[in-house]
Structure 1
Amino acid sequence: MGIDTEKDIEANLQIGPTDRGMVRIYVEAEGLEIPMDFEPEEAEEIAEEIAAAARAARSVKRKKG
């Protein structure tokens, strides 16, 4: 499976600060919980990557479904 492979999986995503000064990205799906903690600087880099991906996605011509 790659980043371009669509899957019909529902998941919840939560993002917030921890009580230890970290940023947590928490993914929860059926039978799966993934807590990922990042230093604030790492979280900012991730946010920049997400913003860049969003800009790139806007430039992709969408296929008619």
Structure 2
Amino acid sequence: MSINTERDLEANLQIGPTDQGMVRIFIEAGDVEIPMDFDPEEAEEIADEIRAAAMAARSVSG
């Protein structure tokens, strides 16, 4: 299994600040709930990785 393996799975993704000063990424898929908390610096690093992946995906698709 890799990042390129397609799945027929539906999930809900929410991202927002918590009342503890963290950034939460919350994933819900069926009966599974995954809350992941990151400090703001970690969240910015994740955002940078998402931007880099989006740029790379653009070069593949067009």
Same fold (TM over 0.5): yes
The CA distance in 1 between the partners of 2:30 and 2:19, in whole Å, is: 26
Identity of aligned residues (%): 74
Alpha-carbon displacement from aligned partner over 1:2-61 (angstroms, at most 9, x marks no partner): 111000100000000000000000000101100000000000000000000000000113
Give the superposed CA RMSD: 1.0
Moved beyond 3 Å, runs of 4+: none
Partner of 2:12: 12
The CA distance in 2 between the partners of 1:15 and 1:60, in whole Å, is: 27
Q: Report the 3-state secondary structure (helix = DSSP H, G, I; strand = E; otherwise coil) of the residue aligned with 2:53.
A: helix
The CA distance in 2 between the partners of 1:44 and 1:56, in whole Å, is: 18
More helix by share: 2
Q: Report the 3-state secondary structure (helix = DSSP H, G, I; strand = E; otherwise coil) of the residue aligned with 1:50.
A: helix
Report the TM-score when normalising by structure 2. 0.96
Partner of 2:53: 53
Number of aligned pairs?
62
